[in-house]
Amino acid sequence: MLKKFAEVNKNFCVSCGACAQECPREAINIFRGCYAAVNKDLCVGCGICSRTCPAGCIEIKTEN
């Protein structure tokens, strides 16, 4: 089975923390106040963060 995970476009992330607050797995943290960083080991690719992101900079990807 292919693993899904969230990927943040660091160039557009405004580090608001909305994704981190909504993540049910606590797989997202704001790195040094600059951008959201996803822990791929904890992320299950549910897409909640992507739908929550006001900047629209989170995509759900599939690992090859």
C-beta separation of 3 from 61 below 8 A: no
Q: pTM of the entire structure?
A: 0.91
* pLDDT tens, residue by residue, 52-61: 999 999 999 9
pLDDT of residue 64: 75
Retrieve residue 47's tokens. 């897409």
Q: Is the pLDDT confidence value at 10 over 90?
A: yes
Please report, in angstroms and rounded to a whole number, the separation of the first and last CA atoms in the chain.
10
**Which residue range(s) make up the domain with 35?**
4-62
Tell me the C-alpha distance between 5 and 17, whole Å. 18
Mean pLDDT of 16-45: 98
Confidence band of 34 (pLDDT split at 50, 70, 90): very high
Retrieve residue 50's tokens. 């992507």
Counting the structural domains of the chain, the total is 1
CATH number for the domain spanning 14: value is 3.30.70.20
pLDDT of residue 1: 83
Any alpha helices (H) in 1-64, and if so which ranges? Answer: 18-22, 48-52
